[in-house]
Amino acid sequence: MLVRSLEIQGFKTFPDKTVLQFHDGITAVVGPNGSGKSNISDAVRWVLGEQNVRTLRCTKMEDVIFNGTPQRKPLGYAEVTLNIDNRSRRIPFDKDDVSVTRRYYRSGESEYLLNKVSVRLRDINELFMDTGLGRDGYSIIGQGKIDAIVSAKSEDRREIFEEAAGISRYRYRKEDSERKLDAAEENLVRLRDILAELESRVGPLKEQSGKAEKFLNYSAEKKSLEIALWLRQLDQSAAVLHQYDDKITLARTQQESAQRELAALDKMTEKNFQGITSCASEIDKIRQRSASCEESAARKDGEADVLLNDAHHAEETVRRLKNEQTSAVDSGERIRTEIQGKEQQAAE
Ligand code: ATP
């Protein structure tokens, strides 16, 4: 297994994409203090999944992103890729080239890629376990680390030797299994508690379930009774409906005959109206005739009055003439008497 190259972009002092090639033999990075040499080993630690910001010499994870200079604006994300020659299959991944990428954004989002495929941090950790390259590997010996190893407690030293001996994978798995076992035990305790609590509720629940069963039976019975009632009401309503249908049919027949009668009456009314119209014109004519008759009667009355008057005058004339006749007779008598007296006188 050989580290072939390291690609850094946006990580600490590397704003531009920088590729470091590692050839056979020893590669040395030389530079003045503070020029960024240790940032390269930080990049290797980081890409292999380091989570401890103090180990990366930062106060928060965002500090690994290029922070800007007076000449250059800060960047939004950091990305490091470690390319490894795996022809020896030292890494349990069936590819000759293994490339591990870690990307981190200022928003806090991060991602890991294995040969450009998104993976979990756990996958990266497991991949490098026992290779000495991993997060807790002994391959990266920082400043003062040798001192720490030599003066460390035997317990801490043991971890380094275990990693070198290749048993840390099994230790990790053991720890993982123990963690899972603990969690399962905790769950078991919780389940036992729940079971105990549930058991105490069994009695009242049984009672409640009896009641619920009764309720269900009653409600089923109620439902079937309600259905029967509805069916009965439906039948009754159907019968009433039938009666109303008959009545409607009868009423319709009656209405039709009434309409026929009405039509006949209309016709008759029309005829009568025509008769009335002709009677009215007849009445008008009669009225005119009566008016002219009345006129001629009035005229005749006038003529009769004139004739009566004439008759009256004639009667008066007759009466006068009779009186004159009487007086003429009287005067004739008297004259005759005088004649007789004269004749006598004359005779004498
Ligand atoms: P020494 O030999 O003293 O340890 P060095 O060459 O290893 O120094 P580093 O410690 O790797 O240098 O780099 C430190 C430099 O990195 C500092 O100048 C610091 O300002 C710069 N630096 C660290 N983090 C960032 C960042 N996020 N953005 C820009 N520059 C950074």
- Residue 61 DSSP symbol: G
Is-above-0.85 flag for pTM? no
Number of neighbours of residue 181 by Cβ within 10 angstroms: 10
Task: Summarize pLDDT for 118-151 with one digit per residue, the tens.
Answer: 999 989 988 888 777 766 666 777 776 677 677 7
Pocket test for ligand 1, best of 9, 11, 38 (most atoms within 8 A of CB): 38
Instruction: Kindly state the tokens that stand for 219.
Output: 């409600």
Integer Cα distance of 294 and 21 in angstroms = 151
The residue nearest atom 17 of ligand 1, judged by CA position, is: 34
pLDDT at 278 exceeding the cut of 80: yes
pLDDT at 181 exceeding the cut of 90: yes
What does the pLDDT read at residue 165?
66
Pocket test for ligand 1, best of 39, 41, 58, 60 (most atoms within 8 A of CB): 39
Q: Which residues contact 96 (CB under 8 A, 6 or more apart)?
A: 85, 86, 87
Is any ligand 1 atom within 6 A of the Cβ of residue 34? yes
Among the residue ranges 14-28, 154-168, 224-238, the one predicted with the least confidence is 154-168
Q: What is the mean pLDDT of residues 241-260?
A: 95
- Residues 24, 25, 28, CA angle at the centre, nearest 5°? 115
Integer Cα distance of 178 and 158 in angstroms = 20
CA 39 → CA 174, 231, 311, distances in Å?
Answer: 34, 88, 171
Task: Summarize pLDDT for 306-341 with one digit per residue, the tens.
Answer: 999 999 999 999 999 999 999 989 888 888 888 888
SS3 5: strand
Integer Cα distance of 2 and 158 in angstroms = 26
Task: Summarize pLDDT for 52-103 with one digit per residue, the tens.
Answer: 898 899 999 999 999 999 999 999 999 999 999 999 988 889 999 999 999 9
The residue nearest atom 9 of ligand 1, judged by CA position, is: 36
pLDDT at 269 exceeding the cut of 80: yes
pLDDT bin (cut points 50, 70, 90) of residue 115 is very high
CA 276 → CA 270, 271, 285, distances in Å?
Answer: 10, 8, 14
- Cβ neighbourhood burial of 292 (10 Å; 0-12, 13-18, 19+): exposed
pLDDT at 174 exceeding the cut of 80: yes
Integer Cα distance of 254 and 258 in angstroms = 6
List of long-range contacts for 115-123, beta carbons under 8 Å, 24+ apart: 121/49, 121/51
SS3 100: strand
Average pLDDT, the chain: 90
- Residues 244, 246, 248, CA angle at the centre, nearest 5°? 65
What does the pLDDT read at residue 63?
95
What does the pLDDT read at residue 136?
62
Count of H helices and E strands in the chain? Answer: 5, 6
- Cβ neighbourhood burial of 291 (10 Å; 0-12, 13-18, 19+): exposed
The residue nearest atom 31 of ligand 1, judged by CA position, is: 12
Among the residue ranges 91-95, 117-121, 224-228, 287-291, the one predicted with the least confidence is 91-95
